[in-house]
Amino acid sequence: MRAMPVSKVNRVLALATALLLAAVSGAQPARAANTPPPVSSRWKAGVNYKVISPAQPTNTPPGKVQVIEFFYLACPFCHALEPHMLAWRKTKPAYVQFVRVPVMWAPLQVADARLFYTLEALGRDDLVETAFNTLHQMEKQAGTEAVMVGSTPARTLALQEAFAEQHGVSAAAFVNAYNSFDVHVDLGRARQLGQMYEITGTPTIIVDGRYRTGPSFFRFRQGRAPRASGDNRMIELINFLTQWVHDH
C-alpha cells in the first residue's frame, strides 16, 4: 500500500483539526453581547471570575451550557481540585455539557495530553483518574512533575505504555491508539482551543465561552496555597454561572 505524501497528510490533519475545532467551539454562535451580566452579592466579576471578551462560540445545543476544564495530568493543582470536580460531575445539572481539554504548552503537557487522549481512544476513561493519582504519587517521590515523560518521544511512549499495561491494556492496543489519526486530531484541537482562550494556568474553567474561573481566583484558605484551594466555593460559583446562563 502506497503511503500518503507527508504534505497531504499534514493538509488532511489540518482540515480535520479545523472541523473538530468548529464542532467543539463553533457550531453555535456566542450569545448576544447585550445579554445581562450575572448579578450576585456573593460572586464578583474580576474577583471570583473573569468575563471573556469577546465571548467565544460553543457547540452546545439549545438549553445546554458548556463547561470546559483546561488541565494536565501532572498538574498538582488539577489533582487538588479533582475530588471536587469529580463529585460535581456526578451531580451537575443535566443541562451542563462538560468537556476536558488538556493544555499543550511544552513537552510535559503534550505528553500528558497524548496519554489522556490515548486512554479516551481506547475507551478507558476510567484510567484517567488512575493516571491522575499515579502521577501525583510519583511526583511526590521524585520531586518533579516530569515523571511520565522521557527525554525522547520513544522513551515517553515506553513509560506510558508500561503504565497502561499495568492496568490491563495490551502494548499493541496502546501503541495503535497512541499513534492513531484520532489522537493526532484531538491534540491539534486541544492546542487551538488553549490558544483561543489564552490559557496560561491550570486548572482553568470556562463557562459558556464567556466566563473564566479557577482556584487561583479564590483566597488563601486553611493553610493551603491559593491555587491548591480548589474547594466547594468554586463548584458553587460554577453552578451559579451555569444556572445564570441557562436561565438567561
Q: How many CB atoms lie within 10 A of CB 68?
A: 24
- Among 19-33, 75-89, 95-109, 201-215, the range scoring the smallest mean pLDDT is 19-33
Contact (CB, 8 A) for 136 and 79: yes
Q: What are phi and psi of 126, to 5 degrees?
A: -60, -25
- Does residue 127 share a domain with residue 78? no
Residue 165 inside a domain? The answer is yes
Express each pLDDT in 123-153 by its tens digit: 999 999 999 999 999 998 889 898 999 999 9
Residue 15 inside a domain? The answer is no
Residue 93 inside a domain? The answer is yes
At residue 227, the pLDDT reads: 46
Express each pLDDT in 35-61 by its tens digit: 667 888 889 999 899 999 999 988 888
> Is pLDDT above 50 for 27?
no
Contact (CB, 8 A) for 30 and 58: yes
- Does residue 64 share a domain with residue 173? no
Burial 91-126 (b: 16+ CB within 10 A, else e): ebeeebbebbbbbbeeebbbbbbbbbbbbbbbebee
Helix (H) or strand (E) holding 89: helix 76-91
At residue 224, the pLDDT reads: 53
pTM (predicted TM-score): 0.83
- Does residue 208 share a domain with residue 169? no
Q: What are phi and psi of 96, to 5 degrees?
A: -90, 125
Express each pLDDT in 211-248 by its tens digit: 999 988 876 455 555 444 457 788 999 999 999 999 98
- At 105, list the grid cell: 504548552
Helix (H) or strand (E) holding 115: helix 107-121
Q: Which domain holds residue 116?
A: 107-198
Residue 142 inside a domain? The answer is yes
Residue 144 inside a domain? The answer is yes
- Does residue 177 share a domain with residue 147? yes
Contact (CB, 8 A) for 81 and 230: yes
At residue 233, the pLDDT reads: 85
**3 state SS of 102:** strand
Give the Cα separation of 104 and 195 in Å (integer).
Answer: 9
How many domains, in total, are found in the chain?
2
Residue 166 inside a domain? The answer is yes
Give the Cα separation of 67 and 69 in Å (integer).
Answer: 7
Q: What are phi and psi of 197, to 5 degrees?
A: -90, 0
- Does residue 209 share a domain with residue 193? no
Q: Phi/psi class of residue 90: alpha, beta or left (left: φ > 0; alpha: ψ in -120 to 50)?
A: alpha
Q: For residue 98, what is the domain's CATH number? A: 3.40.30.10
At residue 31, the pLDDT reads: 53
Strand partners, 86: none
Give the Cα separation of 190 and 110 in Å (integer).
Answer: 10
- At 214, list the grid cell: 479557577
> Is pLDDT above 50 for 179?
yes
Per-residue CA distances from 44 to 22, 38, 48, 180, 204 (Å): 31, 9, 6, 44, 17
